């Protein structure tokens, strides 16, 4: 790419899907490789030699564009149904890039249940640049109407399902309200929890869909990444400009890891989701209040079933007692106590102490985020092992009474 050109070799516009998702996601286009390598090479190079002083090569510098990143972005555009995808250094970096399209004095509308880091960035924008965010209950589509301002509203940010209360927003209805009243506003969906396998925001009316690629897209917790998919070239070009200007494009090795990890997205998600459905049932059978859109008890079960093709593998539940919740989290052996989700290993956490600790306690209380909430992120381990481990932790914490099965197991353990 010449140093003067605004965009790197643009992603080829392969937004039409020819095969079903599981086929498309594992089929990476590498036909331009001179050696027909099975895996896209890692172009671990900061700069690229030019043929002449006019700098007309396709790439000049890896901040502006890198062949491994181009392969990844083309592949992501294809699986997201995006006109163009862009890969950056983290999910937060993706949101940072998107929010740079908002000018001082303009406004953002976002949910009142959302990832703690997202909340932090939105508060920072308010303090540093006077960009106000109105937090609304995105489960009620018409809650947005009083805040839509044709001049001021620039972004509407939807997390659905929300992290950590797993609330659902009606993307098509909200997008139609926004586009009708605010032609300059962009509807942005954080699709991290679903992945493009289960939910396709750009086909539901969103202008931008983004992901923490750290989670399901890569699937192994071995990298940080963010992915942005845009429906229009003009929006993608503005986002690319910010990425090149600020230097947050994803490095070649992480692009390669993400390209490798994403190939197994559909099989991972199928397995994780099947186990999550069992975990939900297990907890509900024991009278616990579970937040999961795969449960018919979820208040937006029907809506989620309409806009997605599955409930995913993240759920949360309440015990009614912070001490019990702590003992459950610390009492499991297979479920790792970690923030993040979307990995092949199962994780357990207390959002108010961990992923959402940066939201001030009084704001958490105003938004009715339960302090005893436990979040489970289901991995690909054997489902029975996960359930046994969870059951033992629930019993040992005092959340559930001991049952015959566990009593027998404990006697056997004492005798051995
Ligand atoms: C829903 C959601 N969006 C975005 C992010 C930010 O992603 P990252 O950690 O890759 O910056 C996270 C978690 O970190 C998240 O849970
Ligand atoms: N210390 C981090 C916490 C990251 S939380 C990661 C993930 N989104 C989750 O929900 O678990 C921070 O302050 O950002």
| Whole-angstrom distance, CA of residue 68 vs CA of residue 244 | 16
Atom number of ligand 2 nearest to Cα 91? 8
HSE (side-chain half, CA atoms, 13 Å) at 172 = 9
Ligand with the closest atom to the CA of 211 = 1
Give the global pTM.
0.94
Domain ranges of the chain: 1-90+214-263, 91-199, 265-415
Pairing of strands 107-111, 132-136: parallel
Rounded distance from Cα 354 to ligand 2 centre (Å): 7
Kindly name the residue from 43, 59, 115, 197 that is annotated as catalytic.
115
pLDDT one-digit tens code per residue, 367-402: 999 999 999 999 999 999 999 999 999 999 999 998
CA distance 319 to 354: 17
* Cα 340 to averaged position of ligand 2 atoms, centre (Å): 6
What is the token pair recorded at 177? 């309200």
DSSP state of 222: S
Distance CA 289, CA 159 (A): 21
- Concerning whether 405 is annotated as a catalytic residue, the answer is no
Tokens standing for 335? 């479920």
Confirm whether 215 is a catalytic residue: yes
**CATH topology for the 91-199 domain:** 3.40.640
Judge if 1-90+214-263 and 265-415 fold alike in CATH terms: no
Residue nearest to atom 2 of ligand 2 (CA): 355
Q: What is the pLDDT along the chain (416 residues), one digit of tens a residue?
A: 333 334 554 444 445 558 999 999 999 999 889 999 999 999 999 999 999 999 889 999 999 999 999 999 999 999 999 999 999 999 999 999 999 999 999 999 999 999 999 999 999 999 999 999 999 999 999 999 999 999 999 999 999 999 999 999 999 999 999 999 999 999 999 999 999 999 999 999 999 999 999 999 999 999 999 999 999 999 999 999 999 999 999 999 999 999 999 999 999 999 999 999 999 999 999 999 999 999 999 999 999 999 999 999 999 999 999 999 999 999 999 999 999 999 999 999 999 999 999 999 999 999 999 999 999 999 999 999 999 999 999 999 999 998 877 777 777 777 87
- The CATH class of the 265-415 domain is alpha beta
Q: How far is the CA of 402 from the centre of ligand 1 (A)?
A: 37
Are the CB atoms for 11 and 74 separated by under 8 Å?
yes
Ligand nearest to the CA of 227: 1
Tell me yes or no: is domain 1-90+214-263 CATH 3.40.640.10.
yes
């Amino acid at each position: 790419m010449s140093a003067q050109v605004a965009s790197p070799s643009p992603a080829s516009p392969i937004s039409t899907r020819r095969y079903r998702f599981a086929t498309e996601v594992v089929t990476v286009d590498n036909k331009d490789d001179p050696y027909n390598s099975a895996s896209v090479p890692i172009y671990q190079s900061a700069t690229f030699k030019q043929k002449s002083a006019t700098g007309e090569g396709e790439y000049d510098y890896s901040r502006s564009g890198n062949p491994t990143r181009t392969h990844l972005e083309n592949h992501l555009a294809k699986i997201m149904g995006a006109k163009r995808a862009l890969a950056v250094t983290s999910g937060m970096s993706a949101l940072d890039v998107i929010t740079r399209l908002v000018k001082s004095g303009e406004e953002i509308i976002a949910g009142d249940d959302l990832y703690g880091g997202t909340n932090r960035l939105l508060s920072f924008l308010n303090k540093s640049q006077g960009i106000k965010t109105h937090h609304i209950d995105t489960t009620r589509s018409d809650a947005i109407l009083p805040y839509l301002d044709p001049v001021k509203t620039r972004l509407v940010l939807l997390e659905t399902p929300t992290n950590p209360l797993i609330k659902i927003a009606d993307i098509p209805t909200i997008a139609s309200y926004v586009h009708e009243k605010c032609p300059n506003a962009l509807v942005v969906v954080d699709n991290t929890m679903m992945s493009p396998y289960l939910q396709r925001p750009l086909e539901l009316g969103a202008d931008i869909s983004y992901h923490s690629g750290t989670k399901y897209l890569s699937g192994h917790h071995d990298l940080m990444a963010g992915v942005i998919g845009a429906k229009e070239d003009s929006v993608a070009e503005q986002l690319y400009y910010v990425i090149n200007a600020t230097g947050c494009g994803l490095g070649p090795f992480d692009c390669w890891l993400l390209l490798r990890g994403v190939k197994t997205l559909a099989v991972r998600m199928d397995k994780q989701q099947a186990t999550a459905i069992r975990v939900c049932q297990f907890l509900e059978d024991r009278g616990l209040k579970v937040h999961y859109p795969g449960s018919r008890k979820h208040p937006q079960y029907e809506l989620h079933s309409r806009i997605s093709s599955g409930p995913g593998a993240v759920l949360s539940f309440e015990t009614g007692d912070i001490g019990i919740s702590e003992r459950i989290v610390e009492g499991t052996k297979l479920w790792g106590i970690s923030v993040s989700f979307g990995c092949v290993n199962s994780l357990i956490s207390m959002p108010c102490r961990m992923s959402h600790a940066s939201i001030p306690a009084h704001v958490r209380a105003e938004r009715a985020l339960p302090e005893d909430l436990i979040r489970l992120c289901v991995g690909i381990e054997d489902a029975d092992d996960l359930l046994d481990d969870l059951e033992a932790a629930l019993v040992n914490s005092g959340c559930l009474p001991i049952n015959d099965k566990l009593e027998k197991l404990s006697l056997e353990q004492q005798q051995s």
